[in-house]
Amino acid sequence: MLRVHSPEMKFLLSQKYPDWAKIKNEYNQARGRERSTLSKEIEKIDLYLMGLEALPKYVLELFYQEELKKVDVETRRSVEEHERFLNCEDADARPDFNHWTRLDRWNADEAAALMLGRDPVTVAKRQAAFRSNRFKKELNKYKDLIERAQQVRALAEMMTPSELMHWARGRNHPFPTDLEAAIQGSPAHYRASLDANALGAQIAVLTDENKRLAQDLRREKLRDDGRESLLKLIIGLAVGGYKYVPDVKYNKALEKIKTSLELLGLEIDEKTIRKCLSMASKTLDPKVKEHLKTGS
């Protein structure tokens, strides 16, 4: 095999035949038929070297520079691809929003990933490789916001897609439009809308009753019997429509009522709802309260 006379020729040869040094060593150690087989590869490499040696120096230099540029481009491309991988910006990290909105509830990790437009499963698999890159900082920021909302019961520990969307909207947090469309088109959101419409009818009844009571208030400062009737109406709707159980620390009904009100654009926090229902529940007979507790 011909000698490689310069670093430029060695580089060009490595580009053309990446395994040339290995082939050379195997050829030198081979015997008989194996050496004969390898000799064909050696001949190709020698012909290429002879072609390079025949080139004028300036042409060889131009050739070398062009091949060097290709390596630089490939290196940059490799770095960019790795960065996209770390930031979960590649095709594998794109979430199937239709799949995720068919799930009843999400945890904080899943919610944070989806708000950033990333697939939660892919994000979980790659977290060990994130180190301190840009995406990890964004992910941690969103997860912190969600967990703080959970601590003050603005979001449930396991939240519905609709709850996350309304929470994000109410606080002007960025929310993927594709995810919002998928949530609004999901069966769960449709059922919640039906509940909201039913609540709307109930609210209309309450509004009419409230107007009547307001007129009484102007005339005679709200008779006690009118106020008691309103409280009875409130507790009746809460128990009958949302399975509310009085004097119980954790009530699923509060979350449902709050969600239904938000779907109608009515902002009432859970603390206020709890206070109103607690007042209204005082109109119930103690035996009825005990029955509701044991029946729950």
> What integer is the mean pLDDT of 70-88?
68
Nearest to 106 by CA among 45, 49, 149, 69: 149
Q: Compute CA distances 47 → 2, 23, 264, whole Å.
A: 9, 15, 80
> What integer is the mean pLDDT of 272-293?
83
> What integer is the mean pLDDT of 116-121?
92
* Highest mean pLDDT (candidates 28-42, 123-137, 148-162, 202-216): 148-162
Residue 293 has pLDDT above 80, yes or no: no
Contact yes or no for 126/86 (Cβ under 8 A): yes
Residue 75 has pLDDT above 70, yes or no: no
- Is the CA virtual torsion 159, 164, 167, 172 positive or negative? positive
What's the rounded Cα separation, in Å, for the pair 225 and 228? 5
Q: What is the pLDDT of residue 97?
A: 92
One-letter amino acid of 119? D
> What integer is the mean pLDDT of 174-179?
92
Any idea which of 38-47, 85-94, 191-200 has the lowest mean pLDDT?
Answer: 191-200
Q: What is the pLDDT of residue 188?
A: 66
Q: What is the pLDDT of residue 192?
A: 58
Tell me what the pLDDT averaged over the chain comes to: 80
Residue 12, C-beta contacts closer than 8 angstroms, at least 6 positions apart: 52, 63, 64, 67
Residue 14 has pLDDT above 90, yes or no: no
Q: Compute CA distances 63 → 44, 55, 57, 68, 218, whole Å.
A: 19, 10, 10, 9, 96
Residue 222 has pLDDT above 60, yes or no: no
Helices (H), the chain: 7-16, 20-29, 32-54, 57-86, 97-101, 108-115, 120-126, 134-151, 161-170, 177-184, 187-220, 224-242, 252-263, 270-281, 286-295
Residue 38 has pLDDT above 90, yes or no: no
Residue 110 has pLDDT above 60, yes or no: yes
Helices (H), 152-264: 161-170, 177-184, 187-220, 224-242, 252-263
> What integer is the mean pLDDT of 264-284?
84
One-letter amino acid of 92? D
Contact yes or no for 252/243 (Cβ under 8 A): yes
Q: What is the pLDDT of residue 232?
A: 81
Higher pLDDT, 288 or 182: 182
Q: What is the pLDDT of residue 189?
A: 61
pLDDT interval class at 50 (50, 70, 90): confident
Higher pLDDT, 163 or 223: 163
Residue 79 has pLDDT above 80, yes or no: no
Rounded-to-10 torsion of CA 141, 146, 152, 158: -150
Residue 202 has pLDDT above 70, yes or no: no
Q: What is the pLDDT of residue 168?
A: 92
One-letter amino acid of 82? H
Retrieve residue 92's tokens.
């594998």
Residue 278, C-beta contacts closer than 8 angstroms, at least 6 positions apart: 246, 247
- Which pLDDT tens digit goes with each residue over 224-261? 566 777 778 888 887 888 888 887 777 788 888 888 87
**Could you tell me which residues are beta bridge partners of residue 159?**
106
Higher pLDDT, 105 or 15: 105
The overall pTM is greater than 0.85: no
Contact yes or no for 257/273 (Cβ under 8 A): yes
Residue 265 has pLDDT above 80, yes or no: yes
What's the rounded Cα separation, in Å, for the pair 167 and 236? 28
Retrieve residue 195's tokens.
């509940």
Contact yes or no for 39/7 (Cβ under 8 A): no
- Which pLDDT tens digit goes with each residue over 132-168? 567 888 889 999 999 999 999 999 999 999 899 999 9
User: Radius of gyration (Cα) for the chain, nearest Å?
Assistant: 36
Residue environment code for 172-206, b if the CB has 16+ CB neighbours within 10 A, otherwise e: eeebbeebbebbeebebbeebeebbeebeebbeee
